A and B are shown apart, each in its own frame.
Chain A
Amino acid sequence: MEQFSLLAPEILLFTGGLVIFLIDVFVRDRTDSGRGYATLALFTLGAAFIASLFQTYAFFELEVAQKPVAVLNMLEIDLFAALLKAPIMLVMILITMAGSTYMNKRTERRGEFWSFFVWVTMAMSAALSASNLIMLYVAIEFLSITSYLLAGFLRDNQRSAEAGLKYFLYGAVASAAMLYGMTFVYGATGTLDLKGIAAHIAANDLSVLAPALLPATMFVMVGLGFKATLAPFFQWAPDTYDGAPTPVTIYLSTASKAIGLAVTARVFVVSMNALLVDWVPVMAGLSILTMTMGNLMALRQQDVKRMLAYSSVAHAGYLLIGITAVAAGTESYMDGINGLLIYLIAYMFTNVGAFLVVMVLEERAGRTDIGAFEGLYRRAPALAVMLTVFLLSLAGIPATAGFWGKFFVFGAAVQRQYFWLAGAGVVNAGIAAWYYVNVVRVMYFGERETDAEPVSMPIGMGAVLVVCTLVVFWIGLYPDPLIEWATTASEQLLSVGS
C-alpha cells in the first residue's frame, strides 16, 4: 500500500483522465462548451501537482525519504524525478488555463481532448520515474501515441493533420529503433533493470560487452533523441510544432522535450556509466550538431511560431551539453545533471510564456509571422514587455532564468575541459541572440501605425503569462533554492550511477 501512495500523482492522473473520458462517452454532447471538461482536467492536474509537490517536499525535507524508493521494481521515485514532475504538471496546468478557450473553440470532441491531455501528463510522469527499460518503453510509447493524437487532433485542419501524421511516421520508426536497441541490451546483460544493467557491466569485461552495448546505446539514443528533438532526428519538430494546435505545441516543445532529455540522462547515468568514455564524443557531436542546425534554421524563419520551434531544437543541443559533461563527485556543484535540471525548468517556463504570447496573437491577429509582431509594443505594451523577458531568457541574459541554465551547462563543459563544446555554445549563443533580438526589434522599433488596434487578452491568459514572467525573474534573481534542489537531485542520481 505504501508503495502505491508514492504513485499518487500517476494514479490521480489516470483516474481523472478516465473520468473525463467516460463522461464524454456517456454524455456525448457535441454542443457542450467543453468548459466542464477543461475544469475537470485542471482539477486533476492540480491534485496531481499537489501530490508531486508533497512528494518533492517529503524528499527534500523529511529525513525518512532521503533514499530513492523503488516501486514494483519498475519505477524509481527519487529526487531527480520528483524535481521535474511538479514543474511539468505546473506547466500542463498553465497550458490548460491559457489554452482551454483556444482548444474548445476549435474542436467538437472536447472530452476526448482533455482526457488525452491528462493522460499525456501521466505518461510523462511515469517516464520520469521508469527504472526498467520495458517500463520506460511503455511510458514513452504511451506518451508518443497520445501526443500523435493530440497533434493531429484538429482533423479538418490540414496542417494539424499533417502535424500528427508526420509526428507519427517519424515516431514509429524511432520507437522501433529504440526497442531494437533494448533487445541488444537485454541480450548482452540479461536484464532490463537499469541498475541491473550497470551491475552486469561492472561485473563483466567491458570489451566483451561493448560490441553489443555500443550499437544498443545508439539505437536507444534514436528513440530518446526523437523525443528530445536532437539532430538528426528533429525534422518532424518544426512542422509538427507549427501545425499542431498551439497548446499541444507548447507541451511538445517543453514538457515532452524535457522527458526525452531527462530519460536520456537517467538511462546513461544510471546504466551506461561505464561506457562514458565511448559515448561522450558522440553526445558532444550530437549536441553541437543540434544547436547549430536548430539555430541556423531558426535564423531563416519568417514565422515566429516556427522560429520558436527551431530554437527549441537548439535548446535541446545546449541541454545535451549537461549530459555530455556529466561528472560525479565534484566540489563545484557543476556536475552536468544539475545544469540539465535547472536548464529544463528555466526553459520550460520561459518557452511556455513565449509560445503563449504567440498564441494570443494567433487568436487576435490570425497570424504568427514576424509582421504580426510589428509595433506590438504600441498595441499591447504588457504583452510586448513579457515577450521581451521570455526572449531575453531564451537568449540567456542574466537576471532571467535562462541565464542560469546556460551558466550550469557551460560550467559543466568547462569543468570537464571540453572547451570546444563550450566554444560551440558561445558561437551558437551569438547566432541565437540575433533572431531573438530581431523579434524585440520588430516589436519596439516599428514605426508603422497600421492595424494599431490594441491587442486584448483574456484574464486567464494574462494571469498565466504573469506567472511565467515571475518564475523567470524569480529563478533569474534568486536561483539559490533551485540550485540546491537540482544539485541534491543530481548528486543522488549520480551516486546511484557510480
Chain B
Amino acid sequence: MANASQMALFATLFMPLVAGIWVLVFSRTDRAIRWSSILFSLVPLVLSAWLMLTYDRDAGELYGEISAPWIPMLNSNFRIAVDGLSLPLIFLTTLLSTLSLYYSARTIRTRVREYFVMFHLLELSMLGVFMALDYVLFYLFWEVSLVPMYLLIGIWGGQNRSYASIKFFIYTLVGSVAMLLAILLTYLATGTFDILMAAEAQPFMQLDDHNRLLLGSLAFWGFFLGFAFKVPSFPFHTWLPDAHTEAPTAGSVILAGVLLKLGAYGFLRIILPTFPEASQHWAWAVIAVGAVAIVYGAFVCVAQSDLKRLIAYSSVSHMGYVMLGIGAASLVLTQDGLNAVVGKFSDAVTAGQVYDSAVMALNGATLQMFNHGIITGALFLLVGIIYERAHTRDLSKFGGLSAKTPYFYGIMLVTAFASLGLPGLAGFWAEFFTFRGAFAIVPIWAAFGTIGIVMTAVYILWRIIQNVFLGEYDSDKLDHWTDVDGRHVDGPTDMVFFEKLTLWPLVIGMFVIGVYPTWLLSFFNTASVRLIMFVIGPS
C-alpha cells in the first residue's frame, strides 16, 4: 500500500497530465478550458505545500519515494522522490504554474486550448525533472520540457518569436545531447541509471589517477554543457535574452522562474555528488563563469533600452550568484582542494570553518534559486502588465508613471528592491549567504562579483525606477494607451484585480522570506549539509 506522501507525490507529478488531457478532450468552451486549467493546477499546488509542511526537515531523508521497474534490461526504474533540495523547487513550480495559468486566463486570447495543454505538459516535465532519481527518467522529462516551451514561445510570442524559439530549442538540445553522452559514460562506469546509486558508486574510482580524472572530466563537461546551457551561465546565455523577450508573459515567468533552475538543480543533484573530484578540478571554471555572469549581466542590463530584455539579462546576472556559490563549494569537495584553501589563508582558518563556508555558499545558491524564481517571476509579470497597456517595452517611452499608476509602482518597487538585495526582502539572504560562503573560499572572485551587486543597484534604480516611474509624466511620449482588455484609453491605467491577485502571493513571499528565511533555509541547509557530508564523509 502506498502511503500518503507517495500518493501526494504521484498525484503532484501526474495531475498536470490529467489536466492536459481533460482540457484537450473534455472542455468545450474557452471559458471551461481556462477554469478547469486553473482548478486542476491547484491540486499539485496544495499537495506540494502539504508535502513541504509534513517533510521532516532535520532528517533530510527522501520523501514519498516511488520505485517501479521501467526498463529492466537497462536496470532503469521509474523512481521518483523528493528531499530538501527539490521540495521547495517543486513548490515554486506549482505556485508559478498556477499564477501563470491564472494570469494567462485573461491575457491569452488565441488558440486557447493548445496554450493550456502545452502549459500543463510543461508543468509535468518540470516537476518530473525535480522528482526523477533515474537518469533515463530525468533525461526524458528534461528533453520533453523543450517542446511545449518551444511552442509557447513560437506561437504566442512577440514579433521575433520564430527566431527566438528555434534558438532556444537548438541551444538547449545541443547541451542536452552532450549530457546524454555523460549519462551513458556514467552508466557504463557504474552499471546503473539510478542517480543516487551512481553517486554512491563514485564512477571511475577504481581507475588510475590519470584515467580517473580524464573520464571524470569528460563526464563533468558533458553534464556541465547540458546544465550550463540551461542555467544559462555565461558564455552559453545568448539564447536567453531572445527567448525571454519574445515569450508570452506567462512563458517568461516559467522560463525564468523554473526552467533556469533545472540547470542549477542538475549541478547539485548530479555533478557535485557524483563527480566530486572532477568538480573540484574544474571548480575554477564554474566560479569564473558565475562571477563573470554576475558582472557581465549587470553591465549589459544597464545598456538595455527594452524593459523586458533588461529583466532577461538580470536573470543572467542573478543566476551567476548560483553558479558562484556552487563553484565555491565544489572547490573544497576533495581533501586536496580543502588543503589548498586552508593553505591559501596561511592556516588562519580551520578545515571545519571552510566546510561551514561551503555549506553557506550552497545555501546561498539554493536560496537564490528559489528567490530568483519568485522575484523574476514577479518582474516578468509586471513587465507584462505594462506591456498589455502600452504595447511597447521601450524604456525611453516611459516616465513619471508613479503618479498615474501608484499601485503598480508600489508592487514594482518592492519587487525591484527584492531583486537588488535590500535587507528585509527575499533577495538579500541569498546574496548574503552566497558571498559570505564564497569570500571564505575564493575571496578575489567574490570581490569581483560584488561589482555586479553595485551595477544591479544602478540598473534597478536608474533604468527601472527612475526611468519608468519617477519624473514628470509626459503624455506626448506615448500616445496610444489601452486598458488591460485592449480598449483605447487616454493614459496609463493602474493594475486591475486579477493582476493584483497574481502578484500578491509573490510579494508576500518576498516579505516572508526576507523577514524569516529560517524555515525555507532549513530545507536547503539540510540538503547542503548532506551533500557536503556525502562527498567528504562525516568529519
Report which A residues bind B (CB closer than 8 A): 331-334, 392, 395-399, 403, 406-407, 410-411, 414-415, 419, 422-423, 425-427, 429-430, 433-434, 437-438, 440-441, 444-445, 478-480, 483-484, 487
Which residue of A438, A478, A483 contacts B74 across the interface (Cβ within 8 Å)? A483
Contact assessment for B188 and A411 in the assembled complex, using a CB-CB cutoff below 8 Å: yes
Q: List 15 A-B contacts (CB under 8 A).
A: A332-B187, A397-B146, A398-B144, A426-B178, A427-B174, A433-B169, A437-B150, A437-B170, A438-B166, A440-B150, A441-B166, A445-B161, A480-B71, A483-B73, A484-B73
The one of B154, B181, B218 in contact with A426, judged by C-beta atoms closer than 8 angstroms, is B181
Cβ B170 vs Cβ A434 within 8 A: yes
Task: State the CA gap A395–B74 with chains docked (Å).
Answer: 22
Which residues on A sit within 8 Å (CB–CB) of B191?
331-332
| Chain A residues positioned under 8 Å from B185 (CB to CB) | 414
Chain B interface mostly helix, strand, loop or mixed?
helix
* Known interface pairs A397-B147, A445-B162; A419-B71 also in contact (CB < 8 Å): no
Tell yes or no: B177 within 8 A of A by CB: yes
When A and B form their complex, which 8 residue pairs have the shortest distance between CB atoms, in order from nearest? Answer: A430-B174, A398-B140, A483-B73, A414-B184, A426-B177, A411-B184, A398-B143, A429-B177
- Is the CB–CB distance between A437 and B144 below 8 Å? no
A410 touches B155 (CB 8 A): no
Residues from chain B with a CB closer than 8 A to the CB of A396 are 177
> From A479, which residue of chain B is reached at the shortest CB distance?
B71
Q: B43 an interface residue at 8 Å Cβ cutoff?
A: no
- Which residues of chain A have C-beta atoms less than 8 A from B72's C-beta? 480
**B170: A residues at CB distance < 8 A:** 430, 433-434, 437
A397: chain B residues at CB < 8 Å are: 143-144, 146-147
CA distance A395 to B147 in the complex (A): 12
Distance between Cα atoms of A487 and B75 in the complex (Å): 14
Task: Please tell me the number of chain B residues within 8 Å of chain A, measured between CB atoms.
Answer: 34
Query: In the complex, what residues of B have CB within 8 A of residue A445's CB?
Result: 154-155, 161-162, 165
Residues of B within 8 A of A415 (CB): 184, 188
Chain A, Cβ-Cβ closest to B156: A445
Is B180 an interface residue, CB under 8 A from the partner?
A: yes
**Cross-chain contact of A410 among B161, B166, B184 (Cβ < 8 A):** B184
Question: What residues on B are CB-neighbors of A480 within 8 Å?
Answer: 70-73
In angstroms, how far is the closest chain B Cβ from the Cβ of A448? 13
Residues on the A chain within 8 Å of B136, using CB: 398
Instruction: Please report the number of residue pairs spanning A and B whose Cβ atoms sit closer than 8 angstroms.
Output: 91
B151 adjacent to chain A (CB < 8 Å):
yes
CA distance A430 to B173 in the complex (A): 7
Which listed residue, B70, B74, B177, B181, touches A414 by the CB 8 Å rule?
B181
CA distance A478 to B72 in the complex (A): 10
User: Any chain A CB within 8 A of the CB of B139?
Assistant: yes
| B97 CB, min distance to chain A CBs, angstroms | 20
Which residues in window 136-172 of B have CB below 8 A to A? 136, 139-140, 143-144, 146-147, 150-151, 154-155, 161-162, 165-166, 169-170
Residues of chain A contacted by B188 (CB below 8 angstroms): 332, 334, 411, 414-415
Q: Which residues of A sit under 8 angstroms from B154, Cβ to Cβ?
A: 441, 444-445
Which residues from chain A contact B74 at a C-beta distance below 8 Å? 333, 483
| A407 contacts B73, C-beta separation under 8 Å | no
> With A483-B71, A483-B74, A487-B73 given, is the CB distance from A430 to B140 under 8 Å?
no
Tell me which of B73, B155, B178 contacts A444 (CB under 8 A).
B155
CB-CB < 8 A to A434: which residues of B?
Answer: 166, 170
* Cβ–Cβ contact A441 & B177, under 8 A: no
Which residues of chain A have C-beta atoms less than 8 A from B169's C-beta?
433, 437
Contact B218 A399 (CB under 8 A): no
Q: Point out the residues of chain A lying under 8 angstroms from B70, CB to CB.
A: 480
Q: B73's contact among A333, A410, A425, A430, by CB below 8 Å, is which?
A: A333
Q: How many Å lie between the Cα of A396 and that of B70 in the bound state?
A: 20
Cα distance, A437 to B178, chains bound together (Å): 19
Instruction: Kindly list 11 other residue pairs between chains A and B, CB separation below 8 angstroms, not including A441-B154, A444-B151, A445-B154.
Output: A397-B144, A398-B140, A398-B143, A398-B144, A410-B184, A419-B181, A423-B181, A429-B174, A430-B170, A437-B166, A480-B73
Whether A429 contacts B173 in the complex (CB less than 8 A), given A397-B147, A399-B140, comes out as yes
Cross-chain contact B173 with A433 (CB below 8 angstroms)? yes
Contacts of B178 in A (CB 8 A): 426
| Contact (Cβ within 8 A) A407 B173 | no
- Determine if B165 and A441 form an interchain contact, defined as CB atoms under 8 angstroms apart: yes
B71 to A407, Cβ gap below 8 A?
A: no
